[in-house]
Amino acid sequence: MTSNQEKKIKDIIDKINYHNDLYYNKDNPEISDAEYDRLISKFKEIQKKLPNLRNEDNPLMKIGGKSSDEFTKFNHPTRMLSLDNAMTRSDLENFIKKIIRFLSLKDTNIQFSIEPKIDGLSVNLIYEFGQLKVAATRGDGLDGEIITSNVSTIKEIPQKLKSKSPPKKLEIRGEIFITKKDFLELNEKSKNQFANPRNAAAGSLRQLDVKITESRPLKFIAHGFGVYEEGKKTYYDQMMEFKSWGVPISPYLTVANGIDDLLKNYTFISDKRSEIPYDIDGLVYKVNDTLYQSRLGIVGKTPRWAVAHKFASETAKTSIKKIDIQIGRTGSVTPVARLEPINIGGVLVSNATLHNFEEIEKKDIREGDTVVIERAGDVIPHILNVVSDKNKKRSSLFKPPKNCPVCGSCIIIDPDEVVVRCSGTYICEAQIIGRLKHFVSRSALDIEGLGDKQINLFYKEKIIKNYGDIFKLEKNRRKILNMEGWGELSFKNLVEAVNDKRKIELSKFIYSLGIRFIGEKNAQAIALAFKSKNEFRRFYNNDQEVKKDIFNILENTDGLGPKAIESFNEYSDYKDNRNQILSLIEEVNLVISSLKTVESPITGKKIIFTGTLNSMSRAEAKSMAEKLGAKVVSSINKSTDILIAGEKSGSKLKKANELGIEIMNEESWRKLSLL
Ligand code: IVH
């Protein structure tokens, strides 16, 4: 950086500090809010290029500064992944079977690493030539927040790796946590400020005042790394190398072959759970061979090569005060039990889902009953069984209503479905509000300060009636400022939190719409079908050609079932939805992140596989072809470019010959795909 640039940065920082002081301490601002905002935006642009700026030098970090909870965004060099859960032996069997099938392995005795799943916060540590350069939170896996100065206070995390020839660049991932014992001590000192060790770790780490972080007993254990080409051949050996460089790794790390061995370790660790000094909620199994890991790749946000084997749940007894009905965003009518509050494993539970009316009947659950409640992880608690005397006089069985208690529409009871539904999809306020809440919720857009409570209020006041309104809050500035509990600062923070989320990945955008059957995975699969923002816009402008093309791709997409496609189609056909989406697109910055592809002779070509491939599974061949930029189709016609023919190719090979389509045998395909 030139001295001129340095001076420019210093000038902006001084200016912000000067105006902060006038605004907050002297209550005598010299510039308008708009001018101040421009100054902040200018600084934020510069800040992106300064990952090492210390918190104490950052005017946005200072408490009392206008945007006191601002941390700089950080784009992870490699995505930080999540894990799928396995609860039962059969879930695990399926996980292993899929791996063996994908890799087309003859030897099915595949090796896994095993580690406890720590209940903490994951961080990404970027080392350059062995020196810690950046530490960032996980965020949504793509973008996190820079917390380098906070992390630098954790003594266990080496500032410099103890290696003679450290790699040029390395991303080490791991968990930051607080031990159970330290948590109890900390909570005693801080008047029970935190609900559990995980919250305490989160509250301690994301601190604007680094001194607070420094005073907290944070610990770290590594559990992974980003792309590392010079890395070891196995995960286990890699972790051992990290250990020799001074990075803490799990003392329980081990390897096992096959399901019985995995389960033995599971029982061993779960029996030891209470002796382990920190909270764990299961085990993580990873394919040990790193080459296999990269061949297996990821589906959406989760790797095919790892899984979290969760521990069983905890239970407690209490009584049902009342049964209520809730209408979900997809119209589902869910009975909910209001309970006499009860503490289960450290969490106060006062509601339990009754799932559906069939469940109530099957378990014969009634108001006033004493019941056993089960709670596992983040899942909503549910009722296992009734324990009170069923011969005693009890209230009558709770039946589904005929009409929606919110909008009065008919309740539909489909004999093929257990869930009963309100038919007022687009008029039922409970469904509309439910979709709005989902849109801003943590798993969707995650807008800070806009939760269920605010959505209820803003909907009632007609400030937020649809998704687009969320991005036009400025229009209602006066109205909101007149509402109880709202002031200039809280309004400004809310608008900023919304603005922060204008950049949205298409898959997240689609997921956030809350369409029935379109969860995160299906949304990702659908998003991949769109090549550009313009194509997405044309789709919602009802361009028939684009629609035909997209549905053709969706029908050929692995793992995307007909129900999901039909639901997406129905949603996208409804005029009001289309209009809402079209105006919403104008408010946000949609990011179309297509699969990262490698330029190859088949880039942009439509290819089709037929017959049996001996060297790899069809799924692996397809994912390789997609990485090489080809589009894999399932039916052959004039527009198909290449047919890859394995053994016993039949009618498709014949048709390819007739149509004069290029034909490739397995040998040529292998050579090409190993490029
Ligand atoms: S591996 C390969 N290993 O669990 C996928 N994660 O649900 C990356 N976690 O975000 C994670 N202990 O914060 C892995 N031994 C462990 C873990 C672990 C805790 C957390 C991690 C991750 C989340 C995934």
Residue-wise pLDDT tens digits, 364-413: 999 999 999 988 766 788 999 999 777 888 999 999 999 999 999 999 99
What pLDDT was estimated at residue 594? 66
* Same domain, yes or no: 212 and 331: no
- Cα-to-centroid distance, 367 and ligand 1 (Å): 41
What pLDDT was estimated at residue 25? 53
Please report the atom of ligand 1 found closest to the CA of residue 303: 2
Please report the atom of ligand 1 found closest to the CA of residue 250: 15
Whether 440 contacts 470, CB under 8 Å: yes
Residue 67: pLDDT band (50, 70, 90) is very low
What pLDDT was estimated at residue 38? 72
Can you give the CATH number for the domain in which 662 is found? Answer: 3.40.50.10190
Higher-confidence residue of 626 and 166: namely 166
Classify residue 48: in a domain, yes or no: yes
Can you give the CATH number for the domain in which 447 is found? Answer: 1.10.150.20
Nearest Cα residue to 122 out of 221, 33, 51: 221
How would you label 175-197 residue by residue, b for 16+ Cβ within 10 Å and e otherwise? bbbbbeebbeebbeeeeeebebb
Number of domains in the chain: 6
CA–CA separation, 78 vs 124, rounded Å?
A: 10
Q: Which of residues 532, 556, 591 is at a domain's end? A: 591
Q: What are the φ and ψ backbone dihedral angles of 501, each rounded to 5 degrees?
A: -105, 15
Ligand 1 binding pocket includes 249 (Cβ within 6 Å)? no
Name the range with the highest mean pLDDT among 201-210, 293-302, 462-471: 462-471
CA–CA separation, 305 vs 294, rounded Å?
A: 9
What pLDDT was estimated at residue 65? 34
How much is the mean pLDDT over the chain? 89
Task: Please report the beta strands in 106-245, taking only residues with DSSP state E, as ranges in sequence order.
Answer: 111-118, 121-128, 131-137, 143-145, 169-177, 219-225
Ligand 1 binding pocket includes 582 (Cβ within 6 Å)? no
Range 482-506 average pLDDT? 92
* Same domain, yes or no: 373 and 446: no
Of 166-170, 586-590, 647-651, 657-661, the poorest mean pLDDT is in 647-651
Neighbours of 666 (CB within 10 A): 19
Q: Which of 95, 114, 117 to mutate for ligand 1's pocket (most ligand atoms within 8 Å of CB)?
A: 117
> Does residue 634 carry a pLDDT above 60?
yes
Classify residue 79: in a domain, yes or no: no
* Same domain, yes or no: 555 and 648: no
DSSP-derived pairing of the beta strands 85-86 and 219-225: unpaired
Q: What is the pLDDT of residues 517-559, one digit of tens each?
A: 999 989 999 998 998 899 999 999 999 999 998 998 898 777 7
Percent of the chain whose predicted confidence (pLDDT) is above 70 = 93
> Could you give the angle at the alpha carbon of 504 between the alpha carbons of 503 and 508, nearest 5°?
165
* Same domain, yes or no: 324 and 393: yes
Give Cα separations from 57 to 9, 15, 82, 283 (angstroms): 11, 13, 34, 41
Classify residue 73: in a domain, yes or no: no
CB neighbours of 480 closer than 8 A, spacing ≥ 6?
463, 473, 486, 491
* Same domain, yes or no: 279 and 233: yes
Q: What pTM was estimated for this model as a whole?
A: 0.60
CB neighbours of 509 closer than 8 A, spacing ≥ 6?
527, 588, 590
Which residue, by CA, sits nearest to atom 23 of ligand 1?
82
Classify residue 520: in a domain, yes or no: yes
Q: Which two tokens stand for residue 262?
A: 């995995």
Whether 146 contacts 125, CB under 8 Å: no
Q: The sheet that has 169-177: what strands, in order across it?
A: 131-137, 121-128, 169-177, 219-225
CA–CA separation, 473 vs 498, rounded Å?
A: 9
Q: What is the sign, positive or negative, of the torsion defined by CA atoms of 237, 239, 244, 245? A: positive
Neighbours of 264 (CB within 10 A): 11
Ligand 1 binding pocket includes 289 (Cβ within 6 Å)? no
What pLDDT was estimated at residue 192? 66
Range 129-142 average pLDDT? 93
Whether 439 contacts 454, CB under 8 Å: no
What pLDDT was estimated at residue 416? 82
What pLDDT was estimated at residue 134? 96
* Same domain, yes or no: 298 and 418: no
What pLDDT was estimated at residue 626? 85
Of 17-31, 331-345, 414-428, the poorest mean pLDDT is in 17-31
- Cα-to-centroid distance, 83 and ligand 1 (Å): 7
What pLDDT was estimated at residue 33? 61
Ligand 1 binding pocket includes 303 (Cβ within 6 Å)? yes
Ligand 1 binding pocket includes 82 (Cβ within 6 Å)? yes
CA–CA separation, 83 vs 284, rounded Å?
A: 9
What pLDDT was estimated at residue 618? 81
Q: Which of 198, 284, 307 to mutate for ligand 1's pocket (most ligand atoms within 8 Å of CB)?
A: 284
Ligand 1 binding pocket includes 307 (Cβ within 6 Å)? no
Can you give the CATH number for the domain in which 139 is found? Answer: 3.30.470.30
Classify residue 108: in a domain, yes or no: yes
In the block, tokens 């209940």 appear at: 119
* Same domain, yes or no: 487 and 510: no
What pLDDT was estimated at residue 32? 64
Can you give the CATH number for the domain in which 411 is found? Answer: 2.40.50.140
CA–CA separation, 345 vs 368, rounded Å?
A: 24
What pLDDT was estimated at residue 277? 93
Classify residue 598: in a domain, yes or no: no
Whether 409 contacts 427, CB under 8 Å: yes
Q: Which of residues 534, 558, 591 is at a domain's end? A: 591
For the chain, the first-to-last Cα distance in angstroms comes to: 39
CA–CA separation, 625 vs 600, rounded Å?
A: 10
- Cα-to-centroid distance, 426 and ligand 1 (Å): 39
DSSP-derived pairing of the beta strands 642-645 and 662-665: parallel
Neighbours of 84 (CB within 10 A): 16
Classify residue 100: in a domain, yes or no: yes
* Same domain, yes or no: 438 and 576: no
- Cα-to-centroid distance, 222 and ligand 1 (Å): 10
* Same domain, yes or no: 228 and 139: yes
What pLDDT was estimated at residue 56? 63
- Cα-to-centroid distance, 82 and ligand 1 (Å): 7
CA–CA separation, 99 vs 612, rounded Å?
A: 18
Whether 154 contacts 94, CB under 8 Å: no
- Helix axes 544-555 and 533-540, enclosed angle (nearest 10): 110
CA–CA separation, 556 vs 460, rounded Å?
A: 43
Ligand 1 binding pocket includes 224 (Cβ within 6 Å)? yes
Q: What is the pLDDT of residues 144-163, one digit of tens each?
A: 999 999 999 999 999 999 99
Classify residue 75: in a domain, yes or no: no
**Domain encompassing residue 126:** 84-310
Give Cα separations from 626 to 36, 606, 608, 670 (angstroms): 47, 10, 12, 14
Range 599-620 average pLDDT? 88
Q: What is the pLDDT of residues 162-215, one digit of tens each?
A: 999 999 999 999 999 999 999 989 988 876 677 778 888 988 998 888 999 999
What pLDDT was estimated at residue 345? 64
Range 413-431 average pLDDT? 91
Whether 302 contacts 82, CB under 8 Å: yes
Q: Which of 81, 83, 173 to mutate for ligand 1's pocket (most ligand atoms within 8 Å of CB)?
A: 83
Task: Please report the beta strands in 131-253, taking only residues with DSSP state E, as ranges in sequence order.
Answer: 131-137, 143-145, 169-177, 219-225
Residue 22: pLDDT band (50, 70, 90) is low
* Same domain, yes or no: 320 and 392: yes
Range 418-429 average pLDDT? 92
Can you give the CATH number for the domain in which 23 is found? Answer: 1.10.287.610
Q: Which of residues 591, 617, 633 is at a domain's end? A: 591
> Does residue 69 carry a pLDDT above 70?
no
* Same domain, yes or no: 268 and 401: no
Segment holding 372, helix H or strand E: strand 370-375
Ligand 1 binding pocket includes 117 (Cβ within 6 Å)? yes
- Cα-to-centroid distance, 502 and ligand 1 (Å): 28
Give Cα separations from 105 to 100, 108, 497, 584, 616 (angstroms): 5, 6, 49, 47, 8
> Does residue 310 carry a pLDDT above 70?
yes
Q: What is the DSSP letter of 636?
A: -
CB neighbours of 425 closer than 8 A, spacing ≥ 6?
331, 431
* Same domain, yes or no: 128 and 168: yes
Ligand 1 binding pocket includes 66 (Cβ within 6 Å)? no
- Cα-to-centroid distance, 451 and ligand 1 (Å): 27
Q: What is the pLDDT of residues 96-128, one digit of tens each?
A: 999 999 999 988 889 999 999 999 999 999 999
Task: List the catalytic residue out of 62, 66, 117, 652.
Answer: 117
Q: Is 117 marked active-site?
A: yes
Range 344-370 average pLDDT? 88
Q: What is the DSSP letter of 24?
A: I
Range 413-440 average pLDDT? 92
